[in-house]
Chains A and B, each alone.
Chain A
Amino acid sequence: MGDLFGNLALGFGVALSLENVGIAFVGCLVGTLVGVLPGVGPIATITMLLPVTFGMEPVSALIMLAGIYYGAQYGGSTSAILVNIPGEVTAVVTTLDGHQMAKQGRAGVALGIAAIGSFFAGTVATLIIAALATPLTSIALLFGPAEYFSLMVAGLVFAVVLARGSIPKAMAMLLLGLLLSTVGTDLETGADRMTFGWAPIADGVDFAVLAMGIFGFAEVMRNLDVTEKRDVVKAAIGRLLPSREDLKASAGPIVRGSLIGAGLGILPGNGAVLGPFASYTLEKKLAKDSRRFGRGAIEGVAGPESANNAGAQTSFIPLLTLGIPPNAVMALMVGAMTIHGIVPGPLVMTRNPQLFWGLIASMWIGNLMLLVINLPLVGVWVRFLRVPYRLMVPAILLFSCIGIYSVNNSATDVILTAAFGLAGYALTKLGFEPAPLLLGYVLGRLMEENLRRALAIARGDLATFVQRPVSAGLLVLAALVLAVAVAPSIRRRREEVFQE
């Protein structure tokens, strides 16, 4: 326990430097903007800003990117409450009661309780991350290549099962990502793989190019498929601070939401997304009069909002302790770390304690800032809600092009990104989700390396993966999860859960 506070003190020492506080502020501000603005997701934004972080210290870069991510959670709820459009997937549930409250002239209170709940959840999540980091890391350090390979397999299977959409298609995208990761020079043998001798991909497909293509450009094209209408709520926003009764009604939901969200957030897949749904269902069941839900019940805002923020933060746990990104945003964080020469995994904590604890401490600071950014500046965000998408398109593309160009100062990269954008658009039209592709791509090289080493140690005997108990356990778990998810009765249940 004393260790925990010592570590947190170290972290706050790093995160509270003038530069890092400023960077966290910029990250949170940009994140909120992204959450509020139509058609820009955190994934595209993080990719856009990746080149900007090249010149920074690794800690500062990660602090900024993390700020964008949880800032977007806050911004997403603002548009959910005021426009009935969830800025982020995690804010979907907030539209149910939050927008009703706004219609009744209680938009300010809804925004206020969302911010307060999120801040509380952020604090809980920060403590959970700090407490779990050391034990999980020490387990991971005992892993050999075989265990590590099985852990990655299990993590990817979880990610596929818990994500949305068809399981075989998500698997296929995962494999496509793995396949793309093999393009370029093979690190072990030096062989040139599937590059056709073309220089721009000699070192592999650039991470920023791939991510910007399938998330940035393709997303713009997808958004153009639907014409959009935004009705910003006409009623006054009203007072921001919840009354004593509001706080009393919300206290329980906030605590429960934070715990549910934090728990589900650790799971690979879209953990942060499941939290708000689970919290809403629970609050509705616990309520004395469940009919109030959907008609502006403050509990229906307080619980899910706490849950989504807690989940967004605890999804850093698998990344920071095991080196396994649980979702696409975390895959981008892996990319950012790699660019700065840090290999994500259990060694980060011992080799770069400043970075590790600094990032964790910055999450709490960021949440405090978001409380400040969000409440008094609501009027400004409302104005951004009115930016039409026809102007967002050129702005997104200009920023993306400049971003991609400056990664390697290469115009070829820009064209390659466009090609990936087209491919990404085509894949979504065929019902494929792009997120697993990125996960597969990010883990590909690490998986191959561990597979190779494990097999070399076992003299080419594949049975090593089932003979070593930890590895076998992980594989059995993965197989079970997969079997259960594909079983017809459970599959129906899974679809129901996602429908709730």
Chain B
Amino acid sequence: MGGSIPLLYRHFSHADPPNAPGAATPGQRIIRRMERGPERHRAVRAPQDFWAGVSLVALAAFSFWAGRALDSGTLRSMGPGMMPRAVALLMAGIGVGLVVASFLRAGDALERWSFRGVIFIMLGVVAFALTIRSPGLVVAGPLVCIVAGVSSPEARVKELAVFGVVMTALCVGLFRYALHLPIPILVIPGVVVL
């Protein structure tokens, strides 16, 4: 459970790309982690597992509540509620296990969130969703490129604007004209529909 020995493997996963800061080799990074030594003694010794367990229990509880009206039926003829309830129960079980274990064995700390990335990417996607119907891709395309592009710390707005316009033009050609997908290009109600 959330082994305290970091798996080298994890270093190559997309969650933790190998091109991490300082361009240390994977071996060096493992050694670095080991040198950090055991976590200080607190009640919750594996904070990540603790919150992971809490989230699981919360998700299970939510699904119980959301499906409270569903009939479980009998084993002989399963109702619509049986499978969701059984699965939620198992999930809650694992959640409780993780919480209990987080008090007994040291594990990973919670990872930091990069709020800049999350916020701008979310905003960009929502902006796209709000503008794609009208005025259409001509606006939605550059908009998502600029807003979401700002999520990178090295972003340059002017470059993003030019890039966004070029990419949008490419996408119009590719999706609308080459692949014939019905994407609204420019829609201003009563004036123009493309």
Interface residues of A (CB under 8 A from B): 38-39, 41, 51-52, 55, 85-86, 89, 92, 164-169, 171-172, 175-176, 178-179, 182, 186, 188-189, 191, 193-194, 196, 217, 219-231, 388-391, 393-395, 397-399, 401-402, 405-406, 409, 411-412, 414-415, 417-418, 421-422, 425-433, 448, 451-452, 455-456, 459-462, 491-492, 495, 498-500
Task: Report the Cα distance A398→B140, complex, angstroms.
Answer: 9
- Which stretch (B35-43, B64-72, B186-194) binds chain A? B64-72
Closest Cβ–Cβ distance, residue B10 to chain A (whole Å)? 6
Q: Assess the A165–B10 pair: CB atoms within 8 A.
A: yes
Which one of B3, B59, B111, B112 lies within 8 Å of A176 (CB-CB)? B59
Task: Report the Cα distance A418→B2, complex, angstroms.
Answer: 28
Task: Give the residues in chain A near B49, CB-CB below 8 Å.
Answer: 431
Chain B, residue nearest A225 (CB) = B114
Q: Assess the A460–B80 pair: CB atoms within 8 A.
A: no
Name A's interface SS. helix
Counting residue pairs across A and B whose Cβ atoms lie within 8 Å, the total is 261
Q: Assess the B76–A455 pair: CB atoms within 8 A.
A: yes
Contacts known (A164-B7, A401-B144, A452-B78); A179 close to B1, Cβ less than 8 A: no
- The 4 lowest CB-CB distance pairs between A and B, nearest first, are A460-B76, A224-B117, A460-B75, A394-B145
Not counting A52-B175, A55-B180, A225-B112, a sample of 4 additional A-B residue pairs whose C-beta atoms are within 8 angstroms of each other reads A179-B63, A194-B84, A390-B156, A411-B129
Q: Assess the B78–A86 pair: CB atoms within 8 A.
A: no
B158 CB-CB contact with A under 8 Å: no
Contacts known (A228-B19, A393-B151); A411 close to B133, Cβ less than 8 A: yes
Task: Report the Cα distance A52→B145, complex, angstroms.
Answer: 21
Size of the chain B interface, CB-CB below 8 angstroms: 96
Task: Give the residues in chain A near B1, CB-CB below 8 Å.
Answer: 166-169
Q: Assess the B9–A390 pair: CB atoms within 8 A.
A: no
Task: Report the Cα distance A391→B140, complex, angstroms.
Answer: 17
Most buried by B among A221, A398, A431, A455: A398
From 9 to 41 in chain B, residues with beta carbon under 8 angstroms from any chain A beta carbon are 9-10, 12-21, 23, 30
Contacts known (A165-B10, A398-B168); A390 close to B154, Cβ less than 8 A: yes
Task: Report the Cα distance A399→B170, complex, angstroms.
Answer: 11
Name B's interface SS. helix
From 95 to 151 in chain B, residues with beta carbon under 8 angstroms from any chain A beta carbon are 95, 97-98, 108, 110-114, 116-118, 121-122, 124-126, 128-130, 132-133, 137, 140-141, 144-146, 148-149, 151
Q: Assess the B78–A455 pair: CB atoms within 8 A.
A: yes
Most buried by A among B87, B154, B163, B179: B87
B44 CB-CB contact with A under 8 Å: no
Closest Cβ–Cβ distance, residue A329 to chain B (whole Å)? 13
Closest Cβ–Cβ distance, residue A271 to chain B (whole Å)? 14
Q: Assess the B121–A179 pair: CB atoms within 8 A.
A: no
Task: Give the residues in chain B near A401, CB-CB below 8 Å.
Answer: 125, 128-129, 132, 140, 144
Contacts known (A194-B66, A406-B181); A425 close to B118, Cβ less than 8 A: yes
Task: Report the Cα distance A226→B81, complex, angstroms.
Answer: 43
Closest Cβ–Cβ distance, residue B138 to chain A (whole Å)? 13
Task: Give the residues in chain B near A164, CB-CB below 8 Å.
Answer: 7, 9-10, 13
Which one of B51, B122, B128 lies within 8 Å of A422 (CB-CB)? B122
Closest Cβ–Cβ distance, residue B97 to chain A (whole Å)? 6
Chain A, residue nearest B122 (CB) = A418
